């Protein structure tokens, strides 16, 4: 059985699906396996963006501490180069996860870029500062393993310019979503997938 889904955690997902279909629904094992084989990548879920560049670019919806940790752990097994992560933390949501997600990124990734992710009516700069507070004191300010770039499009461009051959960039938090919430408005523009492709082609 072969699956196109990326990431070790998708092994667990596939096994759970097989268990449910074989034991719960009585489907033949070979039929269930064919279903797993036929699965295409899920939009915005560990989705590779490949236009022939010499590094790997992946878009994922991970927007919680546990999800980010799972994605970064999966990513570490996918590259011998540097791992770069671009992510934010939503406004009007659990503030504690901002610090937690930054801690996870600094521990597991080589480079972290903090950026916008649906700030809503909160100050984006305040959100980024709260994320930064999760870093060890000695890493704050001048450390060159992380950056705060409020504009998500600019953050994506920066990550792509930063990547070298063999590296991996993980763009986390927006995945398949079509808009970004600023204030009380959902702003529609380029999706994460479109923006990544744009800067890879630029």
Q: Do 99 and 141 lie in a common domain?
A: yes
Angle at which helix 124-132 crosses helix 96-108, to 10 degrees, equals: 50
At residue 107, does pLDDT exceed 80? Answer: yes
Q: Do 186 and 99 lie in a common domain?
A: yes
Q: Do 73 and 18 lie in a common domain?
A: no
Mean pLDDT of 7-18: 74
Q: Do 9 and 61 lie in a common domain?
A: no
C-alpha to C-alpha distance for 191 and 124, rounded to whole angstroms: 19
CA distance from start to end of the chain: 38
Q: Do 2 and 76 lie in a common domain?
A: no
Q: Do 93 and 135 lie in a common domain?
A: yes
Helix segments in 95-191, DSSP class H: 96-108, 124-132, 152-162
φ and ψ at residue 35, rounded to 5 degrees: -65, -40
* Helix/strand/coil for 16: helix
3-state helix, strand, coil in the chain (%, to 5): 40, 15, 40
Q: Do 86 and 106 lie in a common domain?
A: yes
* Helix/strand/coil for 83: strand
pLDDT in tens, 133-153: 999 887 777 678 999 999 999
Q: Do 32 and 49 lie in a common domain?
A: no
Q: Do 70 and 4 lie in a common domain?
A: no
* Residue 28 binned pLDDT confidence (cut-offs 50, 70, 90): confident
Q: Comparing 42 with 87, which gets the higher pLDDT?
A: 87
Q: What percent of the chain has pLDDT over 90?
A: 73
Q: Do 119 and 160 lie in a common domain?
A: yes
- List the domain range (segments joined by +) for residue 26: 1-40
Mean predicted lDDT score pLDDT of the chain: 92
Model pLDDT, residue 33: 83
Q: Do 61 and 23 lie in a common domain?
A: no
Residue 113 belongs to domain with CATH number: 3.90.190.20
Q: Do 128 and 58 lie in a common domain?
A: yes
Q: How many domains does the chain have?
A: 2
């Amino acid at each position: 059985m072969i699956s196109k889904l990326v990431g070790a955690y998708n092994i667990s997902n596939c096994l759970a699906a097989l268990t449910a279909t074989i034991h719960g629904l009585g489907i033949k094992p070979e039929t269930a396996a064919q279903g797993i084989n036929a699965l295409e990548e899920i939009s915005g879920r560990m989705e590779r963006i490949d236009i022939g560049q010499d590094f790997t670019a992946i878009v994922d919806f991970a927007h919680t501490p546990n999800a980010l940790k799972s994605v970064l752990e999966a990513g570490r097994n996918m590259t011998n180069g540097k791992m770069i992560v671009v992510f934010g933390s939503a406004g009007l949501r659990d503030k504690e996860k901002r610090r937690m997600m930054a801690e996870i990124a600094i521990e597991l990734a080589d480079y972290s870029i903090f950026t916008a992710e649906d700030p809503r009516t909160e100050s984006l700069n305040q959100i980024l500062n709260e994320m930064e507070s999760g870093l060890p004191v000695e890493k704050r300010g001048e450390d060159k393993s992380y950056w705060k770039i409020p504009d998500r499009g600019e953050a994506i461009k920066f990550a792509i310019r930063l990547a070298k051959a063999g590296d991996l960039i993980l763009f986390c938090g927006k995945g398949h979503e079509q808009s970004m919430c600023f204030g009380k408005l959902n702003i529609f523009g380029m999706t994460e997938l479109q923006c990544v492709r744009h800067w890879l082609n630029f």
